[in-house]
Amino acid sequence: MPLVPTQMQSLIQLQASSELMAGSKLQDVVSAISIATCQYLQVSAVVNSTNIVLGPGAGTQTGNVVGLIPQAMASMMLLNASSMGLAGRDLPKLFNAVSTGVVNTVMTSVIVQGTVIGGGPGVGTGKITGLVPTALQSMILLQEAFRLMAGSKIKDVASAIAFGICNHIMTVGTVMLTNIGFFTPPPVGPIPIPVAPGIGFFA
């Protein structure tokens, strides 16, 4: 199942409501963040993996993201915001809502698909790379511009959100992979390959 912006938006809004957040622009903010984040992750996230497989051979892999923690992602956003002099009563609530929506959507919806090099069936673990906060920030700002949103702090808020999303996913996120495929039969194989590399992407 691919990342769906409407699912992420609903989860963010649900968390925001539980924290008594409201406002005429909240829905626009949440929509902009959700669309930009889902599009960016599907285009830019790369999963580099190490796999225990049988080989020589070739295989494909599929997996899910685990290990993300909403509170930790929100803390990274808040730390980055503080470094830019941003403050406000609702800022931690916004970051917590966004982080909850992003984490829950990524861990329940993302399917990683890729290939394992040199081997067939087995298992592996991967780390997510390729995410650049400034690129995600630009996509969030573009979505906000479509909604005629403006303000002196909007760029900094988008920067803090993008920083937290990208860095938390790359630092803490782990992908648990299952590899399927073929290996060369005797007398050449099967040979256990404990460190077969793999590469995958968010489907």
Condensed to tens digits (0 to 9), the pLDDT of residues 77-87 reads 999 999 999 98
What pLDDT score was predicted for residue 1?
57
pTM: 0.96
Secondary structure (3-state) at 43: helix
- Contact by Cβ (8 Å): 166, 33: no
> What pLDDT digit, counting tens, does each position of 3-14 carry?
999 999 999 999
Tokens for 114, please give them. Answer: 């890729």
Percent of the chain with pLDDT over 90: 90
**b/e sequence 166-177, b meaning 16+ C-beta within 10 Å:** bbbbbebbbbbb
User: How far does CA 120 lie from the centroid of its chain?
Assistant: 27
- Contact by Cβ (8 Å): 115, 59: yes
Please state, in angstroms and rounded to a whole number, the distance separating the CA atoms of residues 129 and 132. Answer: 9
> What pLDDT digit, counting tens, does each position of 154-176 carry?
999 999 999 999 999 999 999 99
What pLDDT score was predicted for residue 34?
98
Per the DSSP assignment, residues forming a β-bridge with 112 are 63, 202
- In the predicted structure, residue 24 carries a pLDDT above the cut 80: no
> What pLDDT digit, counting tens, does each position of 61-77 carry?
999 999 999 999 999 99
Average pLDDT on 115-137 reads 97
* Separation in Å, CA 49 to CA 69, 102, 117: 21, 23, 10
- The mean predicted confidence, pLDDT, of the chain is 96
Tokens for 153, please give them. Answer: 């702090």
Helix (H) or strand (E) holding 137: helix 133-146
